[in-house]
Structures are given as structure tokens and as C-alpha cells.
Amino acid sequence: VNASSKSPRLLKARVATALVIGVVFGGLAFATDPSGTLTGTVKDLPLAKPGEPTLAELGALLGQGRIAINIIWTMIAAFLVMFMQAGFALAETGFTRAKNAGHTMVMNFLIYGIGILGFLMVGFAFQMGGSGGSSALGGGANLSQMLGVTIGDQFFGLLGFSGFGLSGNAYDVPTFALFFFHLVFMDTALTIPTGAMAERWKLSAFVVYGFVASMLIYPVFASWAWGGGWLSTLGKNFGLGHGYVDFAGSGVVHLTGGVMALMGVIVLGPRIGKYGRDGSVRSIPGHNQPMAMLGVFILAFGWFGFNAGSTLAGTDLRLVTVAVSAMVTSAAAMLSAALFSTALLGKLDLGHTANGLLAGLVATTASGAFIGAPASVLLGAIAGILYVSAAIFIEHKLKLDDPVSAIAVHGVSGLWGVLSVGILADGTYGNGLNGVTGGVTGLLYGGYGQFLAQVIGIVANLAWVGLSSYAMFRAIDATIGMRVKPHQEIEGLDYHQIATPAYSYPALEGDAGVNEIGRELVKR
């Protein structure tokens, strides 16, 4: 604890002794506290009279300790969610073609940075500016401005409006923690369309999308659901269960991402060669499915932060059952998707197996906090079958070209996840959520109002995200254009939009030009 004793001696026999002890065993006679049982005592508390705590001091320190537990839990969870960016990058790149690998990869990089700046400047203030912060994180009450309309005597919150740039009185630890956590969620939503729209999206158009979505499209819906907006007050104000409930964002994050992807795919059109003139559908296999599957594992890993971390509190022990539900649901969905797709295709499909796991994770994201293990199995089994059906329907019937099936995974399963809260929630959790007493309860336990609130949330998402993103993509298309030129698409986007190729394996054969010189040098 104290400072070093500094008698200046340079080299001593002490060295030899220390080194010898370092090599031989034991030295247990000299051990200080190897078991850790003596470490940490009342002396480690900052007290007015060292070693003599008062009740008030202990209370204050305990209050700080609880916030510290909540904050480190929330931050570590957010780190895991941030890592999901790598998962998306790999999954999207692996499931598409090598000639576009650099382009797909770099979109996943750029969206991370664009999203951060857009959310910092504007998006966070719109989303959480009227939320009052999070008491579990110790405050953030400076987030106190909400724009909205009053109809009758009910206030409908439409948009938060404080915390811009995290400056002024938003330079505050609890506010920064809330920002960090919601930022990585927003970035998750934004990275979903990069997969669905891969292999033909123009980089400049993509950059515009990134700023508009992080500053406006995502934050508005998130403010309705999580920022104290009108969807969250449907329960308190109109008696619809706890209002719209979306624990970690099956709707806010995944349905939003899926709907933006859908609109983008509609505006962009299919990749050249995907659909024949006779209406035939061609499969375009990804270039590196093990890469994509590593991505899915990374997503599954990060998802524990995504869902369990959404308690925003390490002292809310429900985080445990949230994690278990995520795991069980994902397992059931993977297996049901694998079985169902094998039944349809005759062989096991890597993409459907991996995407089935994700579909389960998407579904449990809203409802996993409100259900036990057996219900999680059911939730996942349905999610897996639903995903495979939707992916095939979208590709073959709707003729929408989504290279990574992001619309089915995030959109369709996200919708199912939101709905499942209104069906499966068993009433064991959620007391006080959105200002409503008692646990969140779905149809199977008599919660009709909750079901209705979930339906309203879905309709609101489809309406806002669908219309605003469609308008945005159309506007981009009408101005700078959404799509690369056909010959660029055929020759590969990397060749036209990226400075250096993603892969350079000819190197294996002998480095052509470089070795030419090399051999020359050797001869000398």
C-alpha cells in the first residue's frame, strides 16, 4: 500500500537469493496472502476514522458499491455486444462472394464508426434525452427533455431532447454508461442491412444511410420503447399490461434492422444473376462458410452481454435466467432449423443451421427475461422453423435477394420475439417495469392487454422504420444512386471500390514480380 523504500543500492547478493527462491518450490514460509482470505478488510474503506466505520459511512459506501457492481456488469456486457460487430462482419463476408469480401468487411467497419459519431452527436439525445437516465447506474437525471404531444390529458412522448454530444451536464458517469450501452445496441441494428444489401450497394450511399439511421431512424423508435416514449407508457396510461415490453430489443434492434434491410433490398433489387428471366432462382454460395460460422459463434457469445446485460444491473439477479433462456432458445432454434431444413433439402445446410441459432437468439431477446426453461425450448423450436420458412418464402416467393437471410433472421424472428412476450411471459418478472406493478404476463397466463401492447409496438415499428427507411433509400437512389454499375458488380466491388484486394493467394505460388527482383538480388 505504502510507497517504496528507496535506499539506493545497485546490484546485491539479494538478486541471487531472489532468483533461487523463484525457481525452487514453496517458499511458503514467506507467503503473504496466497489464499486471498486476508486481503480486503475494513482498512480498505475510505473512512473518516480509519478502521472505525459509522452506520452512515457504511450506508454510503454500500450504495457506491452497488452502483459499481451495476456499472461494471453493464460495461462488460456492452463490451461483449461491441464484439458482435466482428461476428456480423465475418458472417456477412463469409456468406457472400470473395470478389466482394473487402467491400462487405469494410462496411461492417465503417458502420461502427459512423454509428458512433451519429449517435454521439444526435441519436442518443433523441433516444434517451427524455428518459430520466437509469437509477440502477446511479442517475443520469439530466436526461430530462422529452418532446411530444398531449392528446386529451395524455402525453405521448415522441422524441428525447437532451444530451447532445454528451457535453454540458451530460458529461456525467451514469449518462456516459447509458450512452455506451445503447450505442452498441444501435450499432447492432445498423449492421443488419449491410448483409442483406451486400454485393451491390454503393459505398457512398451506404455512408449516408449510416448517418441517417444512427441519428434518426433507430433513435426515434428506441425513444418510444426505451426512452420513456409513448409505447412504454401504454400500460401506465391505457392499462395495456406493462405497455410495449422489449427487454433487450427483438423489436427495437432486430426488427428495426430487419425492416431497414427489407426496404433496402426492395429499393436495390436482386444481385445480377440471382433470378433468371424465366423466374428461376439461382443459389449463390458464400465463399467461406467456416468464416461465417465463426462469426455466428462470436454473435452467440456477445449475445449473452446483449440479453443478460440488459438488466443494466448486476444486482438484478434475474440476469441469470435471461442468460439461460438465451442459451436454451438458441439451441432449440438451431436444432429445429437444422432438422426442418434437412427435411426440405435432403442434406444438412450450414447456413440454415447457423442462422437457426441466430433466429433463436433474436427471438429470446424480447421475451427471454420473462420465461423459464421449458418455454424457452418452445420459443426456440418455433423460431427455427419460422426462420427457415421465411428465408425460403422471401427468396423463392417474394423474389427478394437477401444474401445472408438477414430479413428472415432479424426481421421475422424479431417480430416473433416481440409477440412472444405477449404470449409466453409467465408473470415472474417485471414488477415496476414502465411504472406498472406486478410481473409481465402473456396470453397463456391471461395477459390480453400485454399481447395488444406488443401488437401495437410491432405495427409502430413497421410503420415508422418501414416508411422512414424506404423514403431514405428512395431519396438516396434519386440523388447519388444506391447501386454500383452492373459491370462493377460483375467484376467485383472490391476491384472498383477498394484500393487493395481482399485476398492475395497467388503469393503461395511464388510472388511473381516481387520474386523476380528477389532472385536477381540473390544472384549477385
> Can you tell me the distance from the alpha carbon of 488 to that of 271, in angstroms, rounded to the nearest whole number?
12
Region 132-151 residues binding its own copies, contact defined as CB under 8 A: 132-133, 135, 138-150
Task: Assess 315 for contact with its own copies (CB under 8 A).
Answer: yes
CA–CA separation, 228 and 89 (whole Å): 32
Please select the residue that binds its own copies; options are 191, 256, 310, 330, rule is CB under 8 A.
330
Q: Is 114 or 476 the residue whose CB approaches its own copies more closely?
A: 114
Torsion over CA: 318, 322, 325, 331 (sign): negative
* Residue that the C-alpha cell 511464388 belongs to: 510
State yes or no: residue 216 binds its own copies (CB under 8 A): no
* Single-letter residue type at 489: E
Which member of 350, 386, 400, 407 binds its own copies (CB under 8 A)? 350
Containing 155, the helix (H) or strand (E) segment is strand 154-160
Site for its own copies in 17-36 (CB under 8 A): 18-19, 21-28, 30-36
Is residue 6 close enough to count as binding its own copies by CB under 8 A?
Answer: yes
Site for its own copies in 79-98 (CB under 8 A): 79-80, 82-83, 85-86, 89-90, 93, 97-98
Does 213 bind its own copies (CB under 8 A)? Our answer is no
**Which residues within the stretch 279-308 sit at the binding site for its own copies (CB under 8 A)?**
282-291, 293-294, 296-298, 300-301, 304-305, 308
CA nearest 221: which of 148, 126, 310? 126
d(CA 355, CA 420): 19
CB of 266 to its own copies, least distance (A): 19
Instruction: For residue 437, state whether it binds its own copies (rule: CB under 8 A).
Output: no
Q: For the segment 380-409, give every residue that binds its own copies (CB under 8 A).
A: none
- Residue 262 pairs in a beta bridge with none
User: Residue 232 and residue 157: Cα distance in Å, rounded?
Assistant: 9
Q: Does 63 bind its own copies (CB under 8 A)?
A: yes
CB of 230 to its own copies, least distance (A): 11
Stretch that binds its own copies, among 253-261, 388-396, 472-480, 499-507 (CB under 8 A): 499-507
Name the segment binding its own copies (CB under 8 A); options: 62-70, 251-259, 391-399, 471-479: 62-70
Instruction: Specify the residue, 321 or 413, whose C-beta has the smaller distance to its own copies.
Output: 321
Q: What is the closest distance, in whole angstroms, from the C-beta atom of residue 95 to its own copies in the complex? A: 10
Within 188-207, the residues that bind its own copies by CB under 8 A are 203
Please tell me whether residue 432 binds its own copies under the rule CB under 8 A. Answer: no
Cβ–Cβ under 8 Å, residues 328 and 359? no
CB 407 → its own copies: shortest distance, Å? 19
Tell whether residue 340 is a contact of its own copies (CB under 8 A): no
Of 281, 392, 398, 426, the one binding its own copies by CB under 8 A: 426
Distance between the two ends of the chain, CA-based, in angstroms?
Answer: 63
In the structure grid, which three cell numbers stand for residue 269, read together?
433489387
Residue type at 363 in one-letter notation = A
Instruction: Find the shortest distance in angstroms from Cβ 309 to its own copies.
Output: 10
Give the Cβ contact number of residue 368 at 10 Å. 35
**Stretch (H or E) spanning 159:** strand 154-160
Q: Is 48 exposed, middle or buried (0-12, 13-18, 19+ CB in 10 A)?
A: exposed
Near its own copies by CB under 8 A: residue from 222, 231, 267, 334: 334
Tell me the three cell numbers of residue 128.
Answer: 434517451
> Nearer Cβ to its own copies, position 175 or 450?
175
Site for its own copies in 227-266 (CB under 8 A): 228
Report which secondary-structure segment, H or E, holds 16.
Answer: helix 13-23
Q: Residue 324, interface with its own copies (CB under 8 A)?
A: yes
Between the alpha carbon of residue 308 and those of residues 222, 274, 300, 301, the distances in Å are 19, 39, 12, 11
- Kindly write down the DSSP assignment for every residue of 301-332, as one continuous string: HHHHHHHHGGG--TT-TTHHHHHHHHHHHHHH
